[in-house]
């Protein structure tokens, strides 16, 4: 299916090759071209129109889908992109669950698209698919924010290099599958998260081992909790918020 541009739009009106105001719309293996002659031209929109009680949900997929031109998104949670090529940048919140934005070169042209993946950490405005990538990109004045629990299932040493680490999820780190993890030079302050570290799988089927050598660690209730495994503290400063509940 090809949806081509409209005729010239006068009076500075917005123009939409495909306008989505209500209901569920599936764009599959479809080529959509914006009206490039219009002042404000969009290939499609996800419109929050007060005239409609049912809000639109737009799903974009298919390896042969091509969206050429801007898209206008009033309802980012109602746009789910799992495939297709775009000539304009795809924002994180437009991606379907389990997908993140990326780029691809086709016949020498760079397009925006999506791939399977998830972000687990963020430094400033940039998000990363692994904590190691975030740590490598962070400077001494940055803060790493953990977006999804970091599951450590291999023996390794993490030198936080005194870079500030915060978390939006609980726990920040979980150690499983018998891995032994050593951490040093930490600067973790997760006031809104109960645990910095949990050792072992949640169902107790595997153990995790943690050695803390140095650094400062703060959590709202517990820095390190042992479900199954061993915790060794060789140095560091630890604190938790006082519990005032019953």
pLDDT at 17: 85
Residue 15 confidence (pLDDT) above 90: no
Strand partners, 224: 197
Query: In sequence order, which residues have a C-beta less than 8 Å from that of residue 246 and are 6 or more positions away?
Result: none
Q: Quick one: average pLDDT of 147-169?
A: 96
Give the pLDDT band (50/70/90) at residue 78. Answer: very high
Residue 196 confidence (pLDDT) above 70: yes
Residue 131 confidence (pLDDT) above 80: yes
CA distances from 81 to 32, 65, 109, 175, 221 (A): 14, 11, 20, 33, 39
Residue 176 confidence (pLDDT) above 50: yes
Least confident of 16-20, 44-48, 101-105: 16-20
Q: Quick one: average pLDDT of 177-205?
A: 93
- Rounded CA-CA distance 71/48 in Å is 14
pLDDT at 246: 47
- Rounded CA-CA distance 165/158 in Å is 13
Q: Given the DSSP bridges, would you call strands 66-68 and 31-33 parallel, antiparallel or unpaired?
A: parallel
Q: Quick one: average pLDDT of 27-43?
A: 81
pLDDT at 38: 52
Burial class (CB in 10 A: 0-12, 13-18, 19+), 178: middle
| pLDDT tens digits, one per residue of 220-246 | 999 999 999 999 999 999 999 866 654
Residue 3 confidence (pLDDT) above 70: no
- Rounded CA-CA distance 42/18 in Å is 8
Residue 122 confidence (pLDDT) above 50: yes
Give the pLDDT band (50/70/90) at residue 83. Answer: very high
Give the pLDDT band (50/70/90) at residue 39. Answer: low
Helix (H, G, I), strand (E, B) or coil at 14: strand
Give the pLDDT band (50/70/90) at residue 86. Answer: very high
Give the pLDDT band (50/70/90) at residue 204. Answer: confident
pLDDT at 73: 96
């Amino acid at each position: 299916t090809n949806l081509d541009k409209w005729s010239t739009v006068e009076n500075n009106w917005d123009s939409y090759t495909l306008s989505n105001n209500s209901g569920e719309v599936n764009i599959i293996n479809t080529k959509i071209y914006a009206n490039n002659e219009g002042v404000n031209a969009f290939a499609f929109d996800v419109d929050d129109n007060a005239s409609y009680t049912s809000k639109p949900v737009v799903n974009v997929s298919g390896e042969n889908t091509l969206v050429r031109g801007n898209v206008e998104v009033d309802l980012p949670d109602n746009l789910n992109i799992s495939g297709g090529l775009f000539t304009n940048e795809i924002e994180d919140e437009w991606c379907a669950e389990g997908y993140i934005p990326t780029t691809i070169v086709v016949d020498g042209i760079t397009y925006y698209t999506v791939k399977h993946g998830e972000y687990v950490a963020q430094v400033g405005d940039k998000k990363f698919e692994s904590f190691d990538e975030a740590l490598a990109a962070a400077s001494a004045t940055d803060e790493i924010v953990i977006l999804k629990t970091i599951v450590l299932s291999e023996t390794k040493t993490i030198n936080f290099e005194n870079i500030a680490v915060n978390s939006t999820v609980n726990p920040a780190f979980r150690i499983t599958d018998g891995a032994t993890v050593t951490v040093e030079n930490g600067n973790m302050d997760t006031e809104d998260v109960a645990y910095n570290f949990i050792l072992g799988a949640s169902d107790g089927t595997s153990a995790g081992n943690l050695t803390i050598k140095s650094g400062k660690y703060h959590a709202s209730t517990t820095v390190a909790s042992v479900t199954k495994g061993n915790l060794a503290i060789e140095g560091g400063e630890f604190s938790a918020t006082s519990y005032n509940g019953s």
